[in-house]
Amino acid sequence: MVKKKDKYILEENESNESVILPEKKSQPIDTSNWPLLLKNYSKLNVRTGHYTPLPFGNSPLNRNLSDYLSYGIINLDKPANPSSHEVVAWIKKILRCEKTGHSGTLDPKVTGCLLVCLNRATRLVKSQQSAGKEYVCIVRFHSAVSGRSAVVRCLETLTGALFQRPPVISAVKRQLRVRSVYESKLLDYDENRNLAVFWAKCEAGTYIRTMCVHMGLLLGVGAHMQELRRVRSGCLSENDNLVTMHDVLDAQYLLDNFRDETYIRRIVSPLELLLTDMPRIVVKDSCVNAICYGAKLMIPGVLRFDNNINVGTEIVMMTTKGEAIAIGIAQMTTAVIASVDHGVVATIKRVIMERDTYEMRWGHGPRATEKKKLIIGGKLDKHGRPNDQTPESWLKYEGYIPTLTGEPDNITNSSSLPALDETKKEDKKRTLDNSKDGDSSPSSESDGEKKSSKEKSKKKRKHSKDS
């Protein structure tokens, strides 16, 4: 009967596809398709897997709309003619944001990638402004050039560190400065119209207009910039969810009139998209709020960490849900983080997450709870300082100081504290008494000297008046 029942159960399990059969080995989870900062999460080094998940925060893609816009960025295709500041001001007005910022000014006639940060995401503007840029430019030569090869050689010459002075019409001081062009490539050349199209990867603050003038000088024919488009700003290119001003207007119209969030969620991306290239450290939920208040990241708070971490490198601290907490500066290498059990892992450079998004988890220890009771009972003042009613056990740290090696467990180190306190008080009294006795005679002498000097100065003034 038992065998028949077992066979019947097996047949039923085979027919039901939703039943998970037991396996000897667990299959690895494929995290290559996970979004944003959680991508390749399984490849991170594991320090510990023990932590208490807290019911706070949300995955970046599942935030409610107000938070989604507060931590959002827009990869905007800037139109020609309006300035970058005008475009950003229009977006601020359309989306009704408190703050907006952009990742580097584009001239009015220039089009292409302009990264617009909304509200809390404006904290990342500084780091994005210094990121590298890529451009596609059309240059017009004033007369015929001796072949395509001459233009290629000219572009090869204008790579590396270059001296540049900003153009006559510019928003910065016109002084000589060094800017680097990392790479350049000729895309097309028209001999009949004396036009060339080239691509350049350069440092932030490089003037392509000045580079075009230098090309004309090197070729001996003169040249100027005809048209310019930015195709990449930092880690975002024109292929990464590039939107127009019309898209922004349409998205807000659908939200206001039809309560449709899908379009605005499509044009606005989470700020975590900008941090995907940085080394990651996954942090326990219990220490998230402490980091938001500016605390250093310590070893006990680390869950997972990346391989390529060195001292001084910028890292991003993230939650297990994939939210960016802060940008920090690493104080340990990957090998040290894996081997030590205490110490500072990273200091804070810029906090991204709003305070109190996660619950405060400090101040729950035994001494902290007792301190709160003493403050309520009036045995400590409102700042936690001792007063006349403070018990001696609190001042002596009884029960909180570990026992010394070789002593019995019932004897604590606090027994030696009163003697030390008494000796310290006696030393202070002696020093005060000595200072009073020793300073009495010199002070009187100094007072007498001051009086005599004042009398002499008065006599001199009288003599000068009489003369």
Buried b (16+ CB within 10 A) or exposed e, 445-460: eeeeeeeeeeeeeeee
Which uninterrupted H or E stretch holds 67?
A: helix 65-70
Which of 205, 121, 204, 214 minimizes the C-alpha distance to 170?
205
DSSP 149-162: HHHHHHHHHT-EEE
Beta bridge partners of 236: 233
Residue 240 near residue 77, CB atoms below 8 Å: no
Q: Please state the length of the chain.
A: 467
Distance CA(417)–CA(398), nearest Å, equals 10
Distance CA(133)–CA(421), nearest Å, equals 64
Q: Which of 107, 240, 306, 356 is catalytic?
A: 107
Report the half-sphere exposure of 256 (CA within 13 A, side-chain side): 9
Rounded to whole angstroms, what are the CA distances from 37 to 86, 118, 214, 318, 321? Answer: 32, 19, 42, 8, 9
Which of 223, 237, 151, 147 minimizes the C-alpha distance to 186?
151
Residue 260 near residue 254, CB atoms below 8 Å: yes
Catalytic annotation present for 107: yes
Return the active site residues.
107
